[in-house]
Structure 1
Amino acid sequence: MPWREFADWCRAEQGVVQGWIERGYLPTIKFGKHRMVNVAALIDQLKEGEV
């Protein structure tokens, strides 16, 4: 999911989500110049208690 769309989805400010990405709190994938939040990996991390 595009990171800006993820921010809207979880009702967080885009700057906050961008900070989470920069700090490595959210698993992301980069496609060219686009950064996507890997929601499936995030769900797996939450289930395992890593977050």
Structure 2
Amino acid sequence: MGAPPFSWGPPADRDRVPSLLGETGELFTHDRIPDLPGRARLDEIEVEVEVEFRA
């Protein structure tokens, strides 16, 4: 079973978390998750998680 066919943007400002975004400026989709560990920056993950907890 595949992932749902939708995408979403980050709650954090896109310019604060660019390593977490795909080419379209959206968060990585389920099929692209294997690419994430090689490019995601720890400081940007922290920003995104912090913003999500405060939302």
| Alignment TM-score, normalising by the size of structure 1 | 0.27
Q: Rg: which structure is higher?
A: 2
| Alignment TM-score, normalising by the size of structure 2 | 0.26
By relative contact order (CA 8 Å, sep 6+), the higher-ranking structure is 2
